[in-house]
Amino acid sequence: MEQYPLVYRCALAIKPQQPFLDWLNEIDPVDNPTLQELRQDSSLYLIPDYEDADDIDNAIQKYLRLNYTGIFINELSEWYVDPKMYPPFSYETFLKWFEISTHTMIYDTVNKPIQKE
């Protein structure tokens, strides 16, 4: 029985919600993806490992509050790179536009180094 190595990171899965789709349709009404299509292959962000934190959920929420802008911009720039098209950023808007799920057990099933761009 094979055991995979634990990656010392947590992860956030970011799934678009209706306000994100509304924004896309407002900017480009021709493409018209469905919410289901947008959510089908959503983004996963590796974040620091909080295994030793007294309250993992609280530590992750604190990290997200401090770093949501970069994630928000990354999600928007996958569709449009012009920042003039972006909505005003706020943590509340981010939480309305994206469903966020937290994952604390990340395993590497590939025996090769991770490549980064």
Residues 35-68: tens digit of each pLDDT? 999 999 999 999 999 988 999 999 999 999 999 9
Provide the pairing of β-strand 6-7 with 106-107: antiparallel
Looking at residue 29, what is its pLDDT?
A: 80
| Whole-structure pTM value | 0.90
Q: Which two tokens stand for residue 32?
A: 């018209």
Mean pLDDT, residues 16-36 taken together: 92
Query: 3-class SS at 86?
Result: coil
Q: Which of 40, 47, 52 is nearest to 70 (CA)?
A: 47
What would the pLDDT profile of 64-115 be if each residue is shown by its tens digit? 999 999 999 999 999 999 999 999 999 999 999 999 999 999 999 998 998 9
